[in-house]
Structure formats: C-alpha cells, structure tokens
C-alpha cells in the first residue's frame, strides 16, 4: 500500500484513519461524528491502530476511528503525547516545520519534521507496518496464514505478528539482503541488533539501555518471487503474493495444500486455551544483564505420565526470557538437572556469570550440597516467601504458557495425552521464537544475535515420511515410511514416533517429506477416534505426591555431578578408567524413548460365535505387525550392539519399522536407562513400595510372574494381536475359545438388565504356553469376566479353591523315582467353563453376539446376557471348577484328604493311580494300566489335552534321565538374570561372603546413621521377590542368603545391594542346578553311602531307614544370626532318598537367651513340619497300597547335645528351663508317640547349617551335594 497523506491536527479528539490496513484490531461500529459542519455518519468502526511516520517513528493509537469515506486522514496531538512525544514548531531556511520530539537520556531528539502548507496545515505521510498486512481480510482466510499458525504452536494474533516480524524463513514479509536483518523496519542503525550487536545487548550497561543517535537508516529490500519459497520440500510449493505497490500485479492464489478449505476458526485453540491468560512477569523497568538472575519451578505430578516422566522443570532467564525445559521422572532429580544446566551455561557463556537463582520453596529444591556449591561460585540461591507464588511469577507464567501451548498442540493431533512430554519440549522451542512482553525480540535472537530462521517448522503431530534404512529398501519397493512428527532437535534433525510401537527416533530434515494435512494416530488406523476418547490430562495430581517423597537421592545426585566435574577438571583429556567414574542414575536424555500405544477395546471388530469367522481390522493385518523386539532383558529405548541376524517381518515388508536398524544416523540413546554404580540395574518395570510390601510367598510369586511375563510381553488386546506377526495363531486361539463357549453352553438368553442388577464386564486375555525349554507350544485366548465388580453376598458366597503346593509336588516326584512309576501331564481345555454357577450373574454382551430382533431400537447397553456356567475372571469360578472335578473323581472311586485336597488316589487290584490337580493341569501318577484308565475317565467327561510325560509344571522343569529326575528352573533363572542385567556378571562359587563375628564389621548389618538408603530406582524389592520364589522351589542353597537380605527391604543400602549381586553371581555359575531324585532302591547297595553315613556320625540306622522312600530331617539354629536385634536363625531340611523335598530358613520371632534355647525353638519348627509330612506320606502310601515308611519314627538330626537331652526328659522347671515356654517341648511328646526320633550329628555334617549361616566354599559345596543338588550339565 502507498504512503498515505495525513494531517496533524490539534483540534481533533481522535485519530481518524481511512484505511483498514492501519488497524491491529477493529470493532465494527456505525455511529455519527461531530464535525465543524455538524453531525456526519462517517464512522464505521474503532479500535487499535499502528503505523509509521516517514522517518520510521512508530505511532500506536489505542482508540482510532475508522472512516473510509472521510476526505482526510487526521493524526491527533493527543495520540502523539500518549506515545511520549512532543510537538513544537521550528523555522529553517524560511520554512516552518512542526517537529515531533522525544527526550532520550536527558537529551531532546527530533524524530519527525512535518512541513507547513500554504493553508497553514501540517502535512506528513504515514505507512502501515509490514506485519499489519497479516490482518487484511483477504489474508485472514488464507491457508498459508493458518498453516503457519499451526506450525508456530497456535499463537494469538498479536503474538503471531510479533513472531513473523522478528524472524525469517516465512513468505509473509520482505527479506533483507544482509544476513542480519533489522529488528524493526525504520529504526536507527544503532537501535538494531545484528550479530555483532547481540553481545552489546547481552553486556548492556547497568541501566540496561541501548545507545542511539539521530542517524536515519535507509533499508534496502527485495520482493520475494512467488515461486521462491518451498513449504514442503520436493513435493508441494507455497506461493505467496506480495501486497506491495511494486508487486501489486502479481497476486496468484496460494497453491499450498494446507487445508482442503479455508478456515477462520482454530478448533485446537478453542479446546486448549480455555481459561485466564497467563500473567506477565512483574519485573522492574530497569533491565538486567543476561543470566544475572535465573528463576525456576516444577510442574507435576502429571497424570498420565509420558514414558517414565511425570514432571517438567522450567528455568527462565529474567533478562532475555530465554528458557530451558527438563523432563523429570522424580522430583528428586530436579537439583541434578538444575546443576547440569548451570554447568552448561557457565561453559557456554563464561562472560555472563550467574548471580542469583530464584527457586520455589518446595521440598524438591532443598539441597545443602547445592547451596554450598553455589556459594563457592558466588551465586545467591533465593527462595520466595512460603505460599507467595507471585515472587516467582516469571517461572509460574512460563509454566502456564507451556501448558497452554502444549495442550493446544496435543489437541490438534491424534496423539494420546501421554505425548505431553514431546509437546512440552516442542512448545519450549517455539516459545524461544516469541518476543516477550518486555522485549521486542525473541529470546533466541537476544541470546544468539541472529534473527531466527523458522523455515524448518512443521505442524506438531503431522505425517512425516522418513527414509527406510538401505538394508531394508528394495529397488521396486517404497523408499520412505510413514511416521509422526513430534518436534526437532535442531533445524537439520527432526524427531518422529513410529506409529505402531510408539518408539522415538530422529532423522535428517532434508531427507524427509511432510504432509501437514494428515495427523496419524499411534497404533495405526485402529485408533482413529483418539480426540473423542482422549483421557483427561492433569498437570498436577496432589494425590500422587506421596508416591514420590523427597529423599536423600537429590543430595546424592548433586554430589555425584560435582564429583564428576572435579574429575573432568583434573583429567581434561581422557579418563584413565571409565569403570571407576561415578555415574548418575538420573537419565541424561530429556525426552521419552517411548510412549504406550493406546488400546481402544471397543474398536475391535466383533468376533462371531460358533462357526462364524473373525473379521479383521482393515486389510492385510499381518503386514502391520511390529518389527522384531530387542534382545531379551534389554531396557526400553536401549540399542543392541549386535542386533539379531535372523530375518524378520521388517525385512519382508519395508513399511514396517525395524527397531534394530533405524532409518537415521547416529541416533542418541533416549532410553530411560538408570545408571548406578550399584550394578547398573535398569528400572523399566513397576516399582514396589518398600515400606508397605510384606515379603511372603504371594509377593515372591508376583515378582516371578512379572519376570516370566515381561521377558516376552503378551498382547493385551485383540488390536495388539492383529499387529503382531503371529496373528494367525492368535486368531485360531480366539476362535477356539468362542467355539468352546458355545459348546459348553456358557451363555444363556439375552434379556433386558433386571432391576438392581449390575452386569459384570469382560475382556480378552492372551497367554502363550511354553515347555521346559521355554519354547511356545500353544496359544491360548480367554474371554474373561471382570469379576472385580462382583458384590459379596449377592454375586458370590465362597471363593476358596485349593491348589497343590510345591512341597507335595516334590514328594510325588520322589515317589515316582522310588517306586518307578509312570508320570503323565494332561490339561483341561477351558476348565472353568465346566463349573455350574450357584448365583445369577449377568454380563455385558460380548462382541460378536447379536441382539435379538425383539430388542427394537433399544441400545446394546440396555441388555445383558446371563451366565449359565462359571467364566474365567469370576471370583467363584475356581471353586466351582474344583467342586465339579472333585465330585466327578470321588464318584469314580477316587479318595482325597483335607491334608492334600488336590491329590486324588484310586487303588485297584492291579495297581493305583494318583491325580494331582493344579487348576487345569493334572499330573497322573501310577502304574501304567491304571494311568491309562484314569486318562480315559477324564477324557470321557472333560475335553483334555494329553501333553505326554510331565516336563514342565508349576513353573518347574523336569528332566527325565535314565538314572533319575532333575527338577530345575534354568529358564526362569536366565530370565531373572536378564531382568536385572546380571546375565554377564562375573560368577562366584558361593551365594554370600562369610560374615564377620564383629557386628560393626558385618556387611549385612542394618543401615548405619551416616549411610544413605538405596535409591528408589534400584529394584531391590523386585530382586528379593524373584530370588525368594527361586529359593522356595528348587534352590535351597540360596535360602539363607535371600532370607538375610530380605530383612532390610524397607531400608536397603549399597552393602545390601552388593549382597544381592553376590547371589546373582552365584546363580550365573549354577544356572542349570536343581534337585536330582535318583532311581535307587537301597542306599546300602552303594558302599559309598554306608561310608558317608558312618563318617557323618549318624547313629545306628535300621535297614528300613536306608530305604530311599524313608523321610529324614536335619535341624539347626544360628545363634544371634541377627546380633543387632538379638534374634537367632531357624533352619531345617527334610529329604526323601537323600534329596530335599522341604526346607526352611527364617529368623526366629523370639529372643533366645542361649544357643540351647535357639536350638529348641528350631527343633520345634522342624518337628511341626515333620508331622505334616508324615501325614502326607501315610495318606498317599496307604491309599496306594504301598509299604508304609512311617511305622518307625522319623529321624531328625540335631547337633546340640543339650537340646537332645532335654527333649528326652521333657519339660522340667529349673534354672535352665524355666524361661522356655512349655509349648516347645511338644517335641518330647512326639518322641513318646514314636513319631520322631532326635539323633545327634556332628556340626560339620549337619546339612541344616546351609540354612543358618554363611559357610566357606568347601563346606558349602559338601552340604549342597548332600541335599541332592546337581547340575544338569553334569548328569550322564
């Protein structure tokens, strides 16, 4: 637009403008205007205007009148004074001028000269600011405007004008020929900031003013040709027509495919910007130097989390408003991140020292070490008054601004809200491009001195086509794959998410193409309704704060970083031994390596019952499978140094991303890898609350199940199954389950939901059954009911269902080898479906079941289906199945006992059979004929699968050798070692070091006062639970070590974690060790056994006691095993044929006053176990018709002579026994009943020592061999 003539008028009350382009904002108003000639209806609007005078003086008018039909444009003197200017007349060379002046630095400067015409009026020209062209009517609906609105993070109109004015790389304005543009067109030369002038701004005087003079500056400009700007490289070209007078003829329409139709309303802004505008910082007018004061604050805990991150921390420079954002997984990492950033700033800007840091008063900003470090550097650490957030308003405003932009970015995409971490980081980069309230330039420009180039910006969450790595490309196949753009690291490197897995990668900007009209969703086309189903994003969840308490971890991490800096200062070239350098477990990465792909269960295609087929989502589902997983045991986000060589789905279909060979170069490891000097244990799994967890069998089983399942994660929904390469097998499993439901007649009629009835929900559960070699043998799919919504007393009465324990199973294995019986494993197909329900239960109608025609137009949610039989997931299903099976077997002549309700025995004239039940797994033991008959009985009533000889049951692996059976857990041990990153640890020969007799030097003593509790990221509880499960099943050799370390689960230290690693070292050298039950009838047939018995000091053994089927036990006590609490240790083991079947190592609950007292307590516990074992043996052998082995007393060997003598005499009140409770003399009563016999054994030959104390290598190995532990590799 040409310059407009304007009259300066002292009489007009308002500035009157005839051109709309001069307005920043305008409200249409049709009103009259009083003039010298009377009222006139010329005014059509009013609002804020902004324009330039000839010399570049900027005039802002808050209330200008829009009168397009007026004859003249008038500039009111009132508005001149409102801008801080003054008007006075001067005469030069006989000509009169009206001078507009300003008072700068105490000196009057003439800014503009308005020439006086012959009519006596002062005339000048005004021109619009280039950025005002953005608000023209023809540009408000422009696709290009809204494209850049989305790219820049959905700024408001005023902010967008300021960003475009102070940056280049966009098509809106003219481009200067010089590399460093003027900040505001028309300003004086010295008022501009070029590359050389940035340092002057950063190092301005104390008053913070930039020097200026009266020199005018003529800026040169050239017009951007319409075809010179590429918006999308290589594909779509953006043409923008200049609106200047010199280019008025060239005004082609934009050919950019940004949106299919012009729009003037941003839905994402409406969703994401509801609420009050963020308050600006209330800083003093005097500007301060760069980095003189930094303010920081933390936002969170945020729900849901973004990968491991639940918080983000903001650091803002009070001078330039430069900001840094760091994602945090815990508040205790705040100081470590802050200190790292301070060290980085001091290295990058050594000429600008940090003088003060203002932080919040919260607990995460409390560290004496950090305060001391800052004091040594001359940095003041300031904390505002408690509960007065306005004193840290700069950081608070930055957080609000980040939240508003990030929320809008996410709302504009199809990403889940758990992607907020990527949006926050991208918002932080966009904010650095925005001018602030106190500066006319962006923070990035003030810091670097260069006008930012924004040509690389793309819309967050849009489609990005990234190159496929060369090994995966084919000549005739696609060269790029679809991904999701989530920001950039630099103008040349972009970040993107793999849609099917949610993994983060980087790529070169120049190699990528963008489609900013399409916004993919994680999970592919399955999750198309993300915006409608997106869960709520809570920026601060107070109820989660207790899950992340302030600990000493913050102090420890600060010390580690300072120590690392000191090492770097002393060794600037290289570290002599990198293994000795203290490393922080706080992740160096500031971006999540992965976010979970959302599952929309309702989007699953309905599955049909009976003979129906299963519809797939889309076409070629198998081709959408995720590429091969990383090596087992590796943490999420880590890279494999030696990736697998085998072919995978990604090599067949190049559109599938191969996580082993990503399509980018030099990808940094963004994984949340917890590095710690305690063993580099990576925490990628859920953590346990140490103070609230009870270390018991249930906890051990939970950890073991987690290790087994997470080693190769099972799919959690039908959608996940369809994205996997093994989808056909899952499809068959699902159809088999539906056929089974139909065959068992599980479902009744579909009826309207009865009054006062709450139907239960349902879901699919997927499991892969494995054999003893960890090989997948069967795919199982289960439609389960969500029984957590059942109400006691209404939907169910009793839920208890017994299962076979591992001690009984080990005894049955010993019975197999002693009697040379057959052993077979059978599995019941959909066992729970055989149980009849004892109450009325209704369930929501599963997918695939059609509503009856009589339902009319009623919604599906108004109906329910009645369950006629027990379904997996119902609280009473297990009990209903057990009752059904028990009634059937008892009806067939089988008998059982309350001692072992899951063992059913049937005796015939020719033999016997035993059915040992563990839910739906049945071990059938007995003679060959009866075993076959039992299998036929079961097959006639239930649908069974014959799995042949038992090789894997209850998580135990059975190796059948010609001379015996070995029970071991090699596969589980390997998974556990990989889970804790100790599969390559240096092996050892014992599970623990020998303890010191001095309590103060005991490595297993409780936490000292000057010791730190182990960081929450170290998986101490999980390791204890995993080891406890192993110790209870097949590895009695680690029982004492695990029990000892489990005592400190609530407050472990580095010493205790070292003890856990010692157990891992021992296990790595004995992975294939297990309990070996040999096929031998008589011990006396082996002369070595007779010699061993004589050498061990065992008292006279009768011939019957030499039989392999005889039960015998060993008991011992470790006096003051816990000297810090005055407690002793109980240990016992019972063997069958010299191989352990039951053992225990536990700390005594009473304080023993002497070693004799401790031995009596230990013997009492052993006798209790012995009585139960004798009952089991008697029940099984008598009902099988086998020779009884319990007619004679069971020998229990004890090495304390005083204890043995007291057990013979019984309880006699005296000085030595009056303090001992009479209940412990229960043993003496059992001796009188000839159920037990306590014999003496030498201490060095008592194998129960293995369960009460740490032993030297030679003694330890001797006892391990004597309880039947053998290595699979050593067996013939």
Successive 10-residue mean pLDDT values, the chain, 1276 residues: 80 86 78 69 85 87 88 88 88 87 80 86 83 44 77 81 76 46 33 32 35 36 32 32 34 34 66 57 61 86 84 88 87 80 84 84 64 81 69 83 89 87 92 82 84 89 90 83 91 90 89 91 63 62 59 66 62 43 50 66 41 38 39 44 43 36 35 32 48 66 62 77 85 85 85 88 85 77 85 82 91 93 90 85 81 80 88 87 92 90 92 92 92 92 90 88 92 90 90 86 88 85 92 95 92 92 94 91 44 41 54 93 90 94 93 89 93 94 90 93 82 67 79 90 93 93 95 89
Fill in the DSSP letter of residue 429. Answer: H
* Listed residue (131, 204, 124, 207) closest to 166, CA to CA: 131
**What would the two tokens of residue 389 be?**
């957030």
Query: Structure tokens of 1065?
Result: 């070292």
Q: Is 291 left (phi over 0), alpha (psi -120 to 50) or beta?
A: left
> For the stretch 883-907, what's the b/e string if a residue is b when 16 or more beta carbons lie within 10 angstroms of its beta carbon?
bbbbebbeebebebeeebebbbbbb
Question: Are the C-beta atoms of 1187 and 819 separated by less than 8 Å?
Answer: no
Beta strands, E only, 747-839? 747-752, 761-770, 776-786, 822-828
What is the DSSP code (8-state) at residue 174?
-
Contact 111, 92 (CB under 8 A): no
**SS3 label, residue 655:** coil
Question: What distance in Å separates the CA atoms of residue 1182 and residue 242, rounded to the nearest whole number?
Answer: 102
Q: Is 206 helix (H, G, I), strand (E, B) or coil?
A: coil
Q: At CA 346, angle to CA 341 and CA 351, rounded to 5?
A: 145
Cα separation values, 928 from 539, 924, 934, Å: 67, 10, 10
Confidence (pLDDT) at 1145: 95
Cα torsion 118, 122, 124, 129 to 10°: value is -160
Given the structure tokens 């030369």, which residue do they identify?
189
How buried is residue 170: exposed, middle or buried, by Cβ count under 10 Å (0-12/13-18/19+)? buried
3-class SS of residue 216: coil
What does each C-alpha distance from 634 to 770, 780, 802, 1024 come to in angstroms?
Answer: 21, 26, 37, 20
Domains of the chain, earliest start first: 4-128 (2.40.70), 271-431+538-594 (3.30.420.10), 462-518+595-673 (no CATH), 676-713+955-1079 (no CATH), 741-942 (no CATH), 1082-1274 (3.30.420.10)
What is the Cα–Cα distance from 1045 to 1020, expressed in whole angstroms? 10
In 783-917, which residue ranges form alpha helices assigned H by DSSP?
806-819, 877-891
Q: Alpha helix locations (H) across 1081-1154?
A: 1087-1095
Residue 924 tokens read as 């059938």
Q: Are strands 58-66 and 311-317 parallel, antiparallel or unpaired?
A: unpaired
Q: What is the pTM of this model?
A: 0.50
Contacts 24+ apart (CB under 8 A), 218-222: 219/176, 219/182, 219/185, 219/186, 220/176, 220/177, 221/174, 221/175, 221/176, 221/177, 222/174, 222/175, 222/177
Cite the DSSP H helix spans in 767-839: 806-819
- How far apart, in whole angstroms, are the C-alpha atoms of residue 741 and residue 830? 8
DSSP for residue 506: E
Q: What is the pLDDT of residue 130?
A: 58
Residues 6+ apart with CB under 8 A from 1043: 1031, 1129, 1145, 1146, 1147
Which residues lie below 8 Å from residue 640, measured CB to CB, with a gap of 6+? 630, 631, 634, 660
Q: Are 145 and 134 in contact (CB under 8 A)?
A: yes
Q: Coil, helix or strand for 485?
A: strand
Phi first, then psi: give them for residue 1136, nearest 5 degrees: -125, 110
Please give the C-alpha separations between residue 1119 and each of 147, 996, 1036, 1153, 1250, in angstroms, as whole numbers. Answer: 78, 14, 20, 9, 14
Q: Please measure the distance between the N-terminal and C-terminal CA atoms of the chain and give it in whole angstroms.
A: 98
Residues 6 or more apart in contact with residue 1179 via CB below 8 angstroms: 897, 899, 900, 903
Write the CA distances from 618 to 464, 622, 711, 723, 1249, integer angstroms.
22, 10, 30, 11, 64
| Residues 634-656: tens digit of each pLDDT | 444 444 444 444 444 333 333 33
Cα(1017)–Cα(586) distance, integer angstroms: 9
List C-alpha distances in Å: 772 to 417, 726, 820, 847, 958: 42, 21, 22, 36, 7
pLDDT at 274: 63
Torsion from C-alpha of 179, 185, 191, 196, nearest 10 degrees = 0
Rounded to whole angstroms, the Cα distance separating 946 from 689 reads 43
- 966 within 8 A of 1074, measured Cβ to Cβ: yes
- Residues 183, 440 contacting (CB under 8 angstroms): yes
**Each residue of 18-42: pLDDT tens digit?**
888 788 877 877 777 777 656 777 8
Report residue 536: phi and psi, to 5°: -75, 140
pLDDT tens readout for residues 1140-1161: 999 999 999 888 888 888 999 9
What is the gyration radius of the CA atoms in the chain, in angstroms? 40
Tokens 């700024």 found at = 155
CB atoms within 10 A of CB 288: 18
Taking Cα atoms as reference points, which of 525, 532, 494, 498 lies closest to residue 511?
A: 494
In degrees, to the nearest 5, what angle opens at C-alpha 836 toward C-alphas 833 and 839? 120
Which alpha helices (H) appear in 1038-1130, and where do they start and end?
1039-1046, 1054-1069, 1087-1095
pLDDT of residue 352: 86
Distance CA(1072)–CA(966), nearest Å, equals 10
Query: Distance between CA atoms of 148 and 959, rounded to whole angstroms?
Result: 68
**Which residue's structure tokens are 């960890």?**
774
Q: Which of 847, 853, 863 lies closest to 608, judged by CA? A: 847
């Amino acid at each position: 637009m040409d310059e407009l003539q304007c009259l300066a008028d002292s009489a007009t009350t308002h500035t009157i403008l005839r051109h709309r382009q001069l307005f920043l904002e305008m409200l249409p108003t049709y009103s009259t205007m009083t003039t010298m000639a009377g009222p006139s209806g010329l005014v059509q609007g009013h609002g804020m205007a902004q324009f330039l005078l000839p010399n570049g003086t900027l005039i802002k008018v808050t209330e200008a009148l829009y009168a397009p039909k007026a004859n003249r444009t008038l500039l009111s003197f009132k508005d001149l004074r409102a801008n801080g200017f003054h008007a006075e007349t001067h005469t030069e060379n006989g000509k009169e001028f009206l001078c507009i002046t300003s008072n700068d630095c105490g000196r009057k400067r003439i800014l503009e000269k308005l020439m006086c015409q012959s009519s006596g009026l002062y005339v000048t020209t005004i021109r619009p600011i280039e950025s005002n062209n953005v608000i023209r009517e023809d540009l408000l609906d422009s696709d290009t405007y809204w494209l850049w609105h989305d790219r820049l993070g959905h700024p408001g109109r005023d902010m967008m004008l300021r960003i475009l004015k102070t940056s280049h790389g966009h098509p809106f304005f003219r481009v200067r020929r010089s590399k460093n543009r003027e900040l505001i067109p028309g300003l004086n030369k010295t008022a501009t900031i070029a590359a050389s002038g940035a340092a002057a701004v950063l190092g301005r005087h104390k008053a913070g003013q930039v020097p200026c003079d009266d020199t005018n500056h003529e800026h040169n400009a050239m017009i951007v040709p319409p075809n010179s700007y590429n918006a999308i490289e290589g594909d779509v070209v953006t043409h923008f027509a200049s609106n200047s007078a010199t280019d008025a003829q060239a005004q082609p329409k934009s050919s950019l495919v940004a949106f299919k139709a012009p729009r003037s309303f941003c839905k994402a802004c409406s969703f994401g910007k509801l609420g009050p505008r963020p308050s600006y910082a209330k800083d003093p007018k005097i500007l301060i130097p760069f980095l003189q004061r930094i303010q920081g604050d933390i936002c969170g805990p945020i729900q849901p989390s973004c990968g491991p991150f639940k918080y983000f921390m903001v650091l803002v420079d009070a001078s330039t408003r430069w900001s840094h954002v760091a994602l945090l997984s815990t508040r205790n990492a705040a100081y470590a991140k802050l200190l790292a950033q301070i060290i980085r700033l001091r290295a990058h800007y050594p000429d600008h020292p940090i003088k003060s840091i203002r932080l919040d008063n919260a607990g995460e900003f409390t560290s004496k070490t950090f305060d001391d470090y800052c004091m040594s550097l001359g940095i003041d650490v300031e904390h505002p008054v408690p509960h007065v957030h306005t004193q840290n308003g700069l950081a608070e405003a930055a957080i609000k601004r980040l939240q508003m932009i990030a929320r809008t970015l996410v709302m504009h995409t199809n990403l889940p809200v758990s992607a907020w971490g990527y949006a926050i980081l991208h918002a932080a980069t966009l904010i650095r491009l925005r001018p602030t309230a106190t500066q006319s330039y962006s923070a990035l420009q003030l810091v670097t001195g260069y006008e930012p180039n924004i040509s690389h910006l793309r819309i967050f969450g849009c489609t990005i086509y990234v190159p496929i790595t060369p090994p995966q490309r084919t000549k005739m196949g696609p060269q790029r794959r679809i991904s999701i753009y989530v920001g950039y690291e630099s103008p040349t490197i972009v970040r993107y998410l793999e849609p099917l897995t949610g993994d983060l990668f980087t790529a070169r900007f120049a190699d990528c193409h963008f489609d900013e009209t399409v916004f993919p969703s994680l999970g592919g086309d399955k999750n198309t309704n993300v915006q409608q189903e997106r869960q709520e994003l809570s920026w601060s969840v107070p109820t989660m704060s207790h899950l992340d308490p302030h600990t000493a971890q913050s102090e420890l991490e600060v010390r580690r970083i300072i120590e690392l800096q000191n090492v770097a200062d002393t060794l600037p070239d290289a570290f002599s031994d990198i293994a000795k350098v203290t490393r922080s477990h706080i992740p160096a990465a500031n971006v999540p390596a992965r976010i979970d792909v959302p599952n929309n269960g309702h989007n699953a295609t309905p599955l049909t019952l009976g003979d129906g087929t299963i519809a797939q989502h889309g076409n070629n589902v198998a081709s959408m499978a995720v590429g091969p997983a990383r090596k087992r045991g590796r943490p999420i986000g880590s890279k494999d140094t030696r990736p697998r060589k085998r072919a995978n789905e990604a090599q067949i279909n190049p559109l599938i991303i191969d996580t082993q060979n990503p399509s980018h170069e030099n990808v940094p490891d963004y994984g949340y890898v917890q590095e710690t000097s305690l063993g580099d244990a990576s925490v990628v799994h859920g953590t346990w609350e140490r103070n609230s967890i009870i270390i018991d069998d249930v906890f051990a089983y939970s950890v073991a199940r987690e290790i087994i399942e997470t080693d190769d994660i099972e799919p959690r929904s039908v959608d996940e199954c369809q994205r996997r390469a093994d989808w056909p097998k899952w499809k068959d499993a699902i159809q088999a389950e539906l056929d089974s439901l139909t065959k068992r007649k599980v479902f009744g009629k579909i009826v309207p939901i009865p009054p006062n009835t709450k139907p239960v929900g349902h879901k699919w559960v997927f499991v892969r059954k494995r054999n003893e070699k960890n090989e997948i043998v069967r795919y199982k799919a289960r439609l389960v009911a969500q029984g957590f919504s059942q109400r006691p007393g209404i939907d169910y009465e009793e839920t208890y269902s017994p299962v076979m324990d591992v001690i009984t199973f080990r005894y049955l294995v010993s019975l197999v080898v002693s009697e040379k019986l057959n052993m077979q494993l059978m599995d019941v197909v959909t066992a729970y479906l055989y149980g009849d329900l004892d109450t009325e239960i209704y369930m929501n109608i599963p997918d695939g079941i059609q509503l009856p025609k009589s339902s009319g137009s009623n919604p599906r949610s108004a109906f329910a289906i009645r369950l006629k039989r027990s379904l997996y997931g119902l609280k009473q299903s297990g009990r209903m199945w057990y009752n059904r099976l028990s009634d059937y077997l008892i009806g067939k002549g089988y008998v059982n006992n309350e001692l072992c309700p899951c063992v059913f025995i049937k005796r015939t004239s020719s033999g016997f059979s035993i059915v040992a039940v563990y839910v739906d797994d049945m071990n059938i033991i007995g003679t060959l004929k009866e075993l076959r008959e039992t299998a036929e009985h079961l097959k006639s009533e239930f649908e069974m699968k014959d799995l042949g000889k038992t090789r894997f049951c209850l998580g135990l692996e059975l190796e059948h050798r010609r001379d015996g059976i070995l029970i071991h857990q090699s596969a589980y041990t390997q998974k556990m070692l990989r889970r804790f990153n100790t599969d390559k640890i240096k092996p050892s020969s014992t599970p623990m070091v020998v303890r010191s007799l001095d309590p103060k030097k005991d490595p297993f003593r409780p936490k000292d006062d000057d010791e730190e509790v182990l960081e929450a990221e170290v998986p101490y509880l999980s390791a204890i639970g995993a080891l406890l499960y192993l110790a209870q099943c097949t590895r009695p050799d680690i029982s004492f070590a695990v029990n000892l370390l489990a005592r400190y689960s609530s407050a472990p230290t580095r010493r205790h974690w070292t003890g856990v690693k010692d157990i891992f070292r021992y296990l790595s050298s004995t992975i294939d060790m297990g309990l070996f039950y040999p096929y031998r009838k008589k011990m006396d047939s082996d002369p070595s056994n007779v010699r061993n018995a004589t050498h061990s000091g065992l008292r006279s053994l009768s011939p019957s006691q030499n039989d392999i089927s005889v039960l015998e036990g060993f008991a011992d006590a470790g006096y003051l095993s816990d000297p810090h609490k005055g407690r002793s240790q109980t240990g016992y083991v019972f063997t069958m044929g010299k191989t352990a079947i039951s053992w225990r190592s536990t700390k005594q609950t009473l304080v023993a006053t002497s070693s004799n007292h401790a031995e009596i307590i230990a013997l009492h516990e052993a006798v209790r176990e012995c009585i139960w074992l004798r009952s089991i043996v008697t029940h099984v052998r008598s009902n099988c018709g086998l020779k009884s082995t319990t007619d004679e007393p069971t020998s229990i060997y004890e090495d304390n002579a005083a204890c043995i003598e007291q057990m013979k005499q019984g309880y006699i009140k005296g000085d030595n026994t009056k303090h001992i409770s009479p209940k412990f003399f229960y043993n003496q009563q059992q001796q009188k009943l000839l159920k037990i016999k306590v014999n003496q054994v030498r201490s060095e030959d008592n194998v129960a020592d293995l369960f009460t104390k740490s032993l030297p290598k030679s003694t330890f190995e001797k006892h391990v061999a004597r309880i039947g532990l053998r290595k699979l590799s050593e067996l013939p």
